[in-house]
């Protein structure tokens, strides 16, 4: 039996590995890392066989502006259920100058707003920057909603979640285009480290609406840290080396964050007894300024431009105020775009010139801004840079001298005074470095994490550890209102803590975060079977309620950094042996159980029983010892205490910001899907329109083409010209709003006239060459027919001569003497056998038969007669008439000939080579009667010579066929 297991184990191991590999291969799919910024969205993709790479936009740029816009339909209002053209990125930004109320940007800043003064202030600031946009806070859905003018008034408002979902879906579409159409659904998304549970849930909801499975959220700074660690190895804390500390300073469009990271390597347990070395990146502390960023710096330039404009004499004369200019949608959109451009120019130049044609009320405007003036305006903003950095250092209990470097990330860090300020803060002990891609590093880090989470990829093992950032805890009541803080700002995500409460009946409790000094409810948890479980412990196991404890295991989620409950249980200590469980059942299944009579590990001093006893007395003694030992062990188990544990089921409900109802989520998904279908229909319509327009232009040129004129009649050309004219009028009239089917119908009408003429042109052009080719094939076939006929005739003649020669030889040897009869019994007459075999052997060397000749002759004559008749018929036709035969028909006939030729060639190749050695060359054995043998041998030699001659003739065909003839 052991031998069978030894033989079968490798097979089962191979089968398991094959199934595992097949499953992994089939599951292999691309994953995304999405850096969701306030101004731009960057995405990196990892797919099988391709390393990390940036997902390009439709116009091949490496980042997409975080903007979505809707182009209103000109001339008429949309019906309910119809959707306008949807634009993204740069195309949407360009639309903002004409339709500022239908272009939405900076949406990230409005995520997760909680009703209150801060929310009202944020929405007010958003309106100040985008005065043409109509928006409000929807208390019922817990999000901001917008009312674009491009839709029907009956369409209803669009939520912030839906607009963000559109932007994310656009990124996903670009990724799928890059991965050759394969589905891309899994992603890791970066978020600011200071985002609360409300904001994190909001982005997860938007991703779900976009059809994206969020594998994990990751803070911007940690994502940059992972990218920094990919190609580096850090000091080993296992060997007592000091870890590295780097500060990621990320200044984007909407906010500034400082994340202090610890980089180290350590040895951890691997499979079996082995260890492995991994790299570890952990968040030690974080600081932030939620409003300091590129947008606020742009606002300074906006104020400068507006003040300079209203100070112009023309503006003063017209009584134009700054509030009036900022409140005008189109004007504000132009000024904000120019302000961003000017700031970027000042990052590399000492001054920038801005000019507008007809900025407001047809007043032109131009001005110049120097870097010195800009830095003077931004002096107070520069002073704010220190706070996030110091906050991160304080949280980690470190100082500037502990830092190895400050790593810069984000678009706004290119502003010169930002880097100068950081250098002055850090001093000489650290360096301010730009050793990561300030635009793409976070996207690469997120994509690397996504690849590590996916079972489809194997990457360098980098363990990343988020921090709680906000203190968190639990609040409940056990007769008294109680609150317990479990996690501090620097607590590691994923590390569980256990809380023991006195509640023995089903109860509810909440998890909370402390944000800006106030406790915010995050999740409400309710137990389901606590009361019943306590009753089971008291009735079935005899537990006293005083001995029963309720335990809750909680942690900061490593997926989204939101406090969560892992498990709950109720337990007590009871008298008895070891508690059974699922593990024991599994051990029993595989032969490792501890039931009576089963195999158990030997205890110290205990000897194994022999398989066969040498005597009955030794067997009896061994049995007695075993029983005594078992009895002692049972008594010991009874005296021991064990803990009886019953899992408690819980349900969770998100708290804090109101969540959309399930029916609202479904309605959002349905509406987004309908919008997607509308986009596809619009693209198909545009393609059909472009094809029709291009076809009309080409067809007009055909009317003046000599070949086209020759292949058509005057009536056809007149009909075509009339149809072209009416189609063009329709295109720029009624057809401007037609659907794709109408364009395809018009195209079909034109092709019905043009295609037959074009077909005649093509046939007339290709006919001479194809006829020449067919005639060449006919000539080759004729040559082969003649050659095969000659070969068959020669073969028949040779066979006849061989038959006559064989007959004469047989008669000469017909009467042997009686004295030789015994000799004939010893050895058969080789001469006679050889002469009778030669005619059939000679005939077999001919590969063709008369049936083959008839077959190829029939094919030749059929095609030859057909082409002669068709050519004669074609000669009688005019160029504008349909041809008597087509090129395709000629190709079919040529294939028939080629098949017949190939059949003959194949038979020739399969013919066995003729042997030049005579089959009777073997010398006959010596006999007792040498004289008789001598006479017989002479007769046999003559017979062999006569019968061998036809074989030689058969090996020499009349005339070999040239290779080109075949």
Per residue in 617-665, pLDDT (tens digit) is: 444 444 445 444 555 555 555 557 889 999 999 999 999 888 889 999 9
Residues 395-421, mean pLDDT to the nearest whole number: 94
- Output the CA torsion sign for 209, 215, 220, 226: negative
Q: What is the CATH number of the domain that holds 44?
A: 3.30.420.40
Cα–Cα nearest to 359, from 384, 332, 379, 385: 332
C-alpha to C-alpha distance for 921 and 940, rounded to whole angstroms: 11
Please, which residues have CB within 8 angstroms of residue 694's CB and are 6 or more apart in sequence? none
The predicted-structure confidence for 766-798, as pLDDT tens digits, reads as follows 889 888 888 888 888 888 888 888 888 888 888
Encoding tokens for residue 754? 């043009």
**Residue finishing a domain among 758, 776, 800:** 758
Q: Which residue has the tokens 């075999």?
A: 837
Residue 180 lies in a domain: yes
Q: What is the pLDDT of residue 839?
A: 46
C-alpha to C-alpha distance for 172 and 36, rounded to whole angstroms: 13
Note whether 650 and 692 are same-domain residues: no
> Lowest-confidence range among 785-799, 880-894, 929-943?
929-943
Residue 627 lies in a domain: no
Query: Which strand (E) or helix (H) includes residue 529?
Result: none
The predicted-structure confidence for 938-948, as pLDDT tens digits, reads as follows 444 444 433 33
C-alpha to C-alpha distance for 838 and 589, rounded to whole angstroms: 79
Note whether 733 and 788 are same-domain residues: no
Q: What is the pLDDT of residue 80?
A: 82
The most confident of 72-76, 773-777, 850-854, by mean pLDDT: 773-777
Q: What is the pLDDT of residue 179?
A: 87
Residue 252 has pLDDT above 70, yes or no: yes
Beta-sheet pairing, 563-575 with 508-515 = unpaired
Residue 963 has pLDDT above 70, yes or no: no
Residue 514 lies in a domain: yes
Note whether 682 and 652 are same-domain residues: no
Q: What is the pLDDT of residue 912?
A: 63
Please tell me the total count of domains within the chain.
4
Residue 369, beta-bridge partner list: 352
Residues 750-761, mean pLDDT to the nearest whole number: 92
Note whether 727 and 807 are same-domain residues: no
Q: Which residue has the higher pLDDT, 397 or 11?
A: 397
What SS3 class is residue 328? coil
Residue 811 has pLDDT above 80, yes or no: no
**Residue finishing a domain among 729, 758, 787:** 758
- Output the CA torsion sign for 526, 528, 531, 534: negative
What SS3 class is residue 898? helix
Q: What is the pLDDT of residue 943?
A: 41
C-alpha to C-alpha distance for 507 and 525, rounded to whole angstroms: 9
Residue 283 lies in a domain: no
Angle among Cα 598, 603, 605 to the nearest 5 degrees reads: 130
Note whether 224 and 166 are same-domain residues: yes
The long-range contacts involving 240-246, CB below 8 angstroms and separated by at least 24 positions, are 244/404, 245/284, 245/396, 245/398, 245/402, 245/403, 245/404, 246/403, 246/404, 246/405, 246/406, 246/407
Query: Which strand (E) or helix (H) includes residue 871?
Result: helix 850-875
Residues 677-689, mean pLDDT to the nearest whole number: 94
Residue 549, beta-bridge partner list: 571
Note whether 889 and 909 are same-domain residues: yes
In 347-487, which ranges are continuous DSSP H helix? 371-377, 379-383, 386-396, 416-426, 441-453
Q: What is the pLDDT of residue 685?
A: 92
Q: How many CB atoms lie within 10 A of CB 734?
A: 10
Residue 523 has pLDDT above 60, yes or no: yes
Residues 340-366, mean pLDDT to the nearest whole number: 95
Residue 689 lies in a domain: yes
Percent of the chain with pLDDT over 70: 80
The predicted-structure confidence for 458-498, as pLDDT tens digits, reads as follows 999 999 999 999 999 999 998 889 999 999 999 999 999 99
Q: How many CB atoms lie within 10 A of CB 343?
A: 22
Q: What is the pLDDT of residue 48?
A: 87
How far, CA to CA in Å, does 556 sit from each of 214, 525, 564? 17, 15, 6
Note whether 654 and 676 are same-domain residues: no
> Lowest-confidence range among 340-349, 383-392, 429-438, 645-654?
429-438
Encoding tokens for residue 459? 């990457």
Domain that holds residue 706: 672-758
Q: Which residue has the higher pLDDT, 115 or 107?
A: 107
Q: Is the distance from CB of 142 to CB of 206 less than 8 angstroms?
A: no
Q: What is the pLDDT of residue 50?
A: 78
C-alpha to C-alpha distance for 93 and 91, rounded to whole angstroms: 5
C-alpha to C-alpha distance for 476 and 295, rounded to whole angstroms: 42
Q: What is the CATH number of the domain that holds 683?
A: 1.20.1270.10
> Lowest-confidence range among 46-50, 364-368, 712-716?
46-50
Note whether 780 and 702 are same-domain residues: no
C-alpha to C-alpha distance for 863 and 870, rounded to whole angstroms: 10
C-alpha to C-alpha distance for 440 and 10, rounded to whole angstroms: 47
Q: What is the pLDDT of residue 885?
A: 87
Residue 962 has pLDDT above 60, yes or no: no
- Give the pLDDT band of residue 585 (cuts 50, 70, 90): very low
Q: Which residue has the higher pLDDT, 566 or 946?
A: 566
Encoding tokens for residue 200? 């994190």
3-state SS of 766-805 is: HHHHHHHHHHHHHHHHHHHHHHHHHHHHHHHHHHHHHHHH
How far, CA to CA in Å, does 754 sit from each of 718, 745, 766? 12, 14, 18
Residues 861-884, mean pLDDT to the nearest whole number: 88
Q: What is the pLDDT of residue 141?
A: 86
Q: What is the pLDDT of residue 117?
A: 65
Q: What is the pLDDT of residue 615?
A: 39
Encoding tokens for residue 191? 């978020």
Q: Which residue has the tokens 């501890």?
A: 594
C-alpha to C-alpha distance for 713 and 733, rounded to whole angstroms: 30
Residue 945 lies in a domain: yes
Chain Cα centroid distance, residue 314? 58
Note whether 211 and 76 are same-domain residues: yes
Residues 729-752, mean pLDDT to the nearest whole number: 91
Which region holds residue 608: left if phi is over 0, alpha if psi is between -120 and 50, else beta?
Answer: beta
The most confident of 122-131, 350-359, 784-793, 852-861, by mean pLDDT: 350-359
Q: Which residue has the higher pLDDT, 117 or 770?
A: 770
Query: Which strand (E) or helix (H) includes residue 306?
Result: helix 294-310
Please, which residues have CB within 8 angstroms of residue 193's CB and are 6 or more apart in sequence? 219, 220, 221, 222, 257, 259, 283, 286, 288, 469
The predicted-structure confidence for 413-456, as pLDDT tens digits, reads as follows 999 999 999 999 988 666 898 889 999 999 999 999 999 999 99
Q: What is the largest CA-CA distance in the chain?
A: 153
Query: Which strand (E) or helix (H) includes residue 522?
Result: strand 518-527
Percent of the chain with pLDDT over 90: 58
In our burial notation (b when 16+ CB lie closer than 10 A, e otherwise), range 565-578 reads beebbbbbebeeee
Q: What is the CATH number of the domain that holds 518?
A: 2.60.34.10
Residue 5 has pLDDT above 90, yes or no: no
The predicted-structure confidence for 274-323, as pLDDT tens digits, reads as follows 889 999 999 999 999 999 999 999 999 999 999 999 999 999 999 999 99
Angle among Cα 378, 384, 390 to the nearest 5 degrees reads: 155
Chain Cα centroid distance, residue 254? 31
Q: What is the pLDDT of residue 449?
A: 97
Length of the chain: 966
What SS3 class is residue 576? coil
Note whether 723 and 804 are same-domain residues: no
Residue 865 lies in a domain: yes
Q: What is the pLDDT of residue 76?
A: 67
> Lowest-confidence range among 299-308, 499-508, 852-861?
852-861
Residue 840 has pLDDT above 70, yes or no: no
Q: Is the distance from CB of 631 to CB of 503 less than 8 angstroms?
A: no
Encoding tokens for residue 5? 């297991």
In 97-183, which ranges are continuous DSSP H helix? 117-129, 160-178
Cα–Cα nearest to 730, from 702, 755, 703, 693: 693
Q: Which residue has the tokens 């903003």?
A: 381
Note whether 841 and 752 are same-domain residues: no
C-alpha to C-alpha distance for 964 and 787, rounded to whole angstroms: 13
**Residue finishing a domain among 233, 260, 291:** 233
Q: What is the pLDDT of residue 429?
A: 60
Dihedral angle over CA of 815, 820, 821, 823, nearest 10? -130
- Give the pLDDT band of residue 931 (cuts 50, 70, 90): very low
Residues 561-587, mean pLDDT to the nearest whole number: 72
Mean pLDDT of the chain: 83
Q: Is the distance from CB of 159 to CB of 138 less than 8 angstroms?
A: yes
Residue 884 lies in a domain: yes
Note whether 716 and 854 are same-domain residues: no
DSSP annotation string for 214-278: EEEEEEHHHHHHHHHHTT----BTTTTPPPEEEEEEEE-SS-EEEEEEEEEEEEEE-STT-EEEE
Q: What is the pLDDT of residue 727?
A: 94
């Amino acid at each position: 039996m052991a031998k069978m297991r030894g033989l079968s184990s490798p097979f089962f191991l191979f089968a398991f590995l094959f199934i595992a590999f097949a499953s992994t291969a089939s599951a292999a799919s691309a994953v995304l890392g999405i850096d969701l910024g306030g101004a731009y969205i960057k995405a990196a993709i990892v797919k099988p066989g391709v390393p990390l790479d940036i997902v390009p936009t439709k116009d091949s740029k490496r980042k997409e502006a975080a903007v979505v816009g809707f182009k209103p339909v000109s001339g008429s209002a949309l019906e309910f259920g119809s959707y306008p053209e949807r634009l993204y990125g740069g195309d949407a930004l360009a639309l903002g100058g004409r339709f500022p109320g239908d272009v939405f940007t900076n949406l990230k800043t409005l995520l997760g707003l909680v009703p209150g003064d801060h929310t009202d202030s944020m929405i007010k600031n958003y309106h100040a920057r985008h005065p043409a946009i109509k928006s409000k806070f929807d208390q019922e859905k817990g999000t901001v909603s917008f009312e674009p003018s491009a839709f029907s008034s009956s369409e209803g408002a669009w939520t912030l979640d839906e607009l963000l979902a559109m932007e994310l879906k656009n990124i996903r579409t670009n990724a799928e285009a890059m991965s050759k159409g394969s589905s891309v659904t899994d992603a890791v998304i970066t978020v600011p480290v200071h985002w609360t549970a409300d904001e994190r849930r909001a982005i997860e909801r938007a991703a779900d609406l976009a059809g994206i499975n969020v594998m994990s959220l990751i803070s911007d700074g940690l994502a940059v840290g992972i990218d920094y660690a990919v190609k580096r190895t850090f000091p080993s804390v296992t060997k007592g080396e000091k870890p590295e500390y780097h500060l990621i300073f990320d200044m984007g469009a909407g906010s500034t964050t400082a994340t202090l990271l610890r980089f180290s390597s350590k040895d951890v347990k691997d499979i079996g007894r082995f260890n492995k070395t991994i790299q570890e990146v952990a968040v030690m502390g974080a600081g932030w300024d939620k409003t300091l960023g590129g947008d606020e710096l742009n606002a300074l330039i906006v104020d400068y431009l507006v003040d300079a404009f209203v100070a112009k004499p023309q503006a003063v004369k017209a009584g134009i105020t700054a509030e009036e200019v900022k409140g005008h949608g189109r004007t504000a959109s132009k000024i904000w775009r120019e302000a961003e451009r000017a700031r970027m120019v000042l990052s590399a130049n000492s001054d920038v010139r801005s000019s507008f044609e007809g900025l407001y009320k047809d007043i032109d405007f131009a001005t110049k801004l120097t870097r010195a003036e800009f830095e003077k305006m931004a002096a107070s903003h520069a002073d704010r840079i220190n706070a996030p950095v110091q906050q991160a250092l304080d949280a980690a209990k470190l100082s500037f001298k502990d830092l190895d470097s400050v790593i810069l990330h984000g678009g706004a860090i290119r502003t010169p005074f930002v880097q100068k300020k950081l250098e002055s803060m850090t001093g000489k002990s650290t360096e301010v470095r730009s050793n990561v891609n300030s635009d793409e590093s976070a996207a690469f880090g997120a994509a690397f994490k996504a690849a590590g989470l996916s079972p489809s990829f194997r990457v360098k093992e980098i363990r990343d550890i988020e921090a709680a950032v906000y203190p968190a805890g639990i609040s409940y009541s056990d007769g008294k209102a109680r609150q317990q803080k479990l996690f501090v700002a620097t607590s590691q995500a994923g590390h569980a803590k256990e809380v023991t409460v006195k509640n023995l009946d089903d109860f509810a409790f909440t998890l909370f975060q402390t944000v800006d000094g106030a406790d915010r409810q995050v999740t409400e948890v309710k137990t389901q079977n606590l009361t019943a479980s306590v009753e089971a412990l008291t009735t079935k196991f005899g537990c006293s309620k005083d001995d029963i404890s309720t335990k809750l295991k909680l942690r900061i989620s490593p997926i989204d950094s939101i406090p969560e409950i892992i498990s709950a249980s109720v337990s007590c200590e009871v008298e008895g042996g070891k508690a059974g469980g699922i593990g024991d059942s599994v051990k029993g299944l595989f032969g490792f159980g501890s039931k009576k009579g089963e195999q158990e590990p030997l205890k110290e001093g205990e000897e194994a029983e022999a398989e066969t006893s040498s005597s009955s007395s030794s067997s009896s003694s061994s049995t007695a010892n075993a029983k005594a030992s078992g009895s002692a062990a049972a008594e010991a188990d009874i005296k021991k205490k064990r803990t009886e544990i019953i899992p408690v089921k819980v349900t969770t409900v998100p708290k804090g910001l109101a969540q959309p109802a399930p029916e609202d989520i479904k309605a959002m998904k349905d509406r987004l899907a309908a919008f997607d279908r509308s986009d596809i229909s619009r693209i198909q319509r545009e393609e059909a329109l472009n094809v029709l327009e291009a076809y009309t232009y080409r067809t007009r040129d055909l009317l003046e083409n000599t070949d086209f004129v020759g292949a058509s009649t005057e009536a056809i050309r007149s009909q075509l010209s009339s149809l072209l004219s009416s189609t063009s009028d329709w295109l720029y009239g009624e057809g401007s709003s037609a659907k794709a089917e109408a364009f395809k119908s018009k195209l079909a009408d034109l092709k019905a006239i043009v295609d037959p003429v074009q077909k005649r042109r093509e046939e007339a052009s290709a006919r001479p060459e194809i006829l020449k080719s067919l005639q060449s094939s006919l000539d080759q076939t004729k040559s082969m027919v003649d050659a095969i006929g000659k070969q068959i005739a020669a073969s028949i003649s040779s066979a006849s001569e061989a038959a006559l020669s064989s007959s004469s030889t047989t008669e000469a040897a017909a009467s042997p003497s009686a004295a030789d009869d015994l000799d004939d019994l010893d050895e058969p007459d080789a001469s006679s056998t050889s002469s009778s075999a030669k005619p059939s052997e000679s005939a077999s060397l001919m590969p063709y038969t008369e049936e083959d000749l008839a077959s190829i002759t029939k094919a030749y004559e059929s095609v030859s007669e057909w082409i002669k008749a068709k050519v004669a018929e074609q000669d009688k036709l005019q160029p504008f008439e349909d041809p008597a035969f087509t090129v395709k028909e000629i190709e079919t006939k040529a294939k028939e000939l080629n098949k017949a030729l190939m059949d003959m060639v194949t038979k020739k190749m399969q013919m066995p080579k003729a042997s030049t050695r005579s089959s009777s060359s073997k010398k006959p054995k010596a006999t007792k009667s040498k004289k008789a043998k001598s006479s017989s041998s002479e007769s046999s030699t003559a017979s062999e010579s006569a019968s061998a001659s036809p074989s030689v003739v058969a090996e020499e065909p009349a005339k070999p066929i040239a290779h080109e003839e075949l």
